[in-house]
Amino acid sequence: MINAPVSRTQPGWPLVSIGIPTYNQQNYLAEAIETALAQNYPNLEVVVADDCSTDGTAKLVQPYLTEKRFKYFRNEKNLGRVQNYRKLFYEYAAGQWYVNLDGDDYYIDNNFVSSGIEKINFFQSKGYEIMFYHSGLQTKIKNHTITYIPNIKEEVELMHGKKYFENFFTLNASSHLTIICNRPQGLTIDYYSKNALFSDVHSFVRLALHGHVILDKKITAVWRFHGDNASHLLEQQFEDEMESKKDISNYAIPFVGEEQAAIWFKKAKIQLLNNLVYKNLKVDSVNTSDWARYFKHFRFSLFFAKQFFKYIFLSVKNLEFTLKQFFVKPGFASPIKKVDKKKR
């Protein structure tokens, strides 16, 4: 069953659904719900799709049930991450425009939806068919914050979907939680149909090809990285992800031609391989498994050369830390004798 988009009373303010798919995220979910409800947009629904959680999620949402803009659905059985995305998008949500906010992420700009819809309305009034609006975000990894903003010249840019597709790997504009997408159009292209790690990319890249997109440098949300994220499973799901990228490439052929589609797929393969071995000097560490993965996928390129030196640096850093921990154990006598300069 498809929950068709509906119109509400606010002229010029179409219904926007913030969908929050969740599974056993009780430690983070309240912040996602509260920052979604804090949006100042006048025609909003916040819809939680609980994928049969076994923690305290059902109890956690109880105080929000009195809020008219809030809806809570619990699946009868666990569907899995992507199927929960899909059920929420097709059946639980009712908006003309849709945002996916995973249950462990949150917004830091209460004007995110209002600002996005204002820009969508403006460009649509000029005759452009908008597929989605995309803003910037921050990523929280341990004690570090990394900022991701679209790689565009102006603060806000309208871009044809074909150009977005062709420049996808340099635009830095592929954030799930900061995309307000055209839900009616999404319903027609089998949104969230690929059970892959980056099912969101498989959906909104194809969507972009049907019109124009709006890219905005404004920082509006936080993607929280932790050990329970699905995104750390790339090596296990590498083949599925390659198939997903090939499917995007094939879908794009009628829009951009076979040559451009083939170029895109080649870049997608390189990006996936790079993601497997990428290390950030501030937040990452290196172990033997990382080195094994590096040599398993090694190829001669500038990127892999840079990563090699990062791996060396992080390995030395890790060794220094290990030695320091070893030598400061209680009762341990260091083999390194200190020289008393006064007695020399």
Which tens digit of pLDDT belongs to each residue from 138-166? 988 777 788 999 999 999 999 999 999 99
Q: Which residue has the tokens 């059970």?
A: 195
CA–CA distance, 64 with 52 (Å, rounded to integer): 18
Q: Indicate if the alpha-carbon torsion angle 235, 266, 132, 1 is positive or negative.
A: negative
- What pLDDT score was predicted for residue 5? 54
Residue 141 DSSP label: E
What are the Cα distances from residue 181, in Å, to 46, 89, 117, 174, 211? 15, 11, 10, 12, 12
pLDDT at 275: 75
Cβ atoms < 10 Å from Cβ of 184: 13
Per-residue pLDDT band at 70 (split at 50, 70, 90): very high
Residue 61's pLDDT band, with cuts at 50, 70 and 90, is very high
| 133 pLDDT tier (thresholds 50, 70, 90) | very high
Could you tell me which of 159, 149, 289 has the C-alpha nearest to residue 221?
Answer: 149
Asked whether the predicted pLDDT for residue 230 surpasses 50, the reply is no
For CA atoms 165, 171, 177, 181, the dihedral sign is negative
In this prediction, residue 7 carries a pLDDT of 45
Please state, in angstroms and rounded to a whole number, the distance separating the CA atoms of residues 171 and 31.
Answer: 29
Whether the pLDDT of residue 117 is over 70: the answer is yes
Is the confidence at residue 335, as pLDDT, over 60?
no
Burial class (CB in 10 A: 0-12, 13-18, 19+), 68: exposed
Q: Average pLDDT in the 329-339 region?
A: 48
Q: Rounded to the nearest 10 degrees, what angle do helices 238-256 and 199-208 cross at?
A: 0
Which residue matches tokens 């892999």?
304
- pLDDT at residue 338 tops 60: no
Task: Give the ranges where the chain is alpha helix by DSSP (H).
Answer: 29-37, 57-60, 81-87, 112-125, 161-166, 168-171, 183-188, 199-208, 238-256, 258-277, 288-296, 302-327
Q: What is the percentage of the chain residues whose pLDDT exceeds 70?
A: 84
- From the list 154, 195, 148, the residue with the least C-alpha distance to 174 is 148
Question: For residue 84, what pLDDT is reported?
Answer: 97
Q: Using pLDDT thresholds of 50, 70 and 90, give the confidence band for residue 300.
A: confident
Taking the chain, what is the end-to-end CA distance rounded to the nearest angstrom? 87
Looking at residue 9, the DSSP 8-state letter turns out to be S
Rounded Cα distance between 77 and 256, Å, is 41
What digits encode the pLDDT tens for the residues 252-263?
Answer: 999 999 999 999
Q: Residue 10 has what pLDDT?
A: 54
Question: Taken in order 70, 74, 75, 79, is the CA torsion positive or negative?
Answer: positive
Sequence ranges of the domains in the chain: 16-225, 280-329
The whole-number average pLDDT for the span 230-241 is 68
* Secondary structure letter of residue 299 according to DSSP: -
Question: Mean pLDDT score of the chain, rounded to an integer?
Answer: 87
Whole-angstrom distance, CA of residue 50 vs CA of residue 316: 44
Q: Residue 287 burial (CB < 10 Å; 0-12/13-18/19+)?
A: exposed
Q: Does domain 16-225 have CATH number 3.90.550.10?
A: yes
Print burial letters for 253-270: b (CB count within 10 Å at least 16), e (below 16): eeebeeebbeebbebbee
Closest CA to 248 of 182, 194, 197, 291: 194
Asked whether the predicted pLDDT for residue 121 surpasses 50, the reply is yes
pTM above 0.85, yes or no: no
The pairing of beta strand 212-225 with beta strand 130-141: parallel
Token reading at 81 = 């991450």
185-220 pLDDT, tens digit each: 999 999 999 988 889 999 999 999 999 999 999 999
d(C-alpha 245, C-alpha 157), whole Å:
26
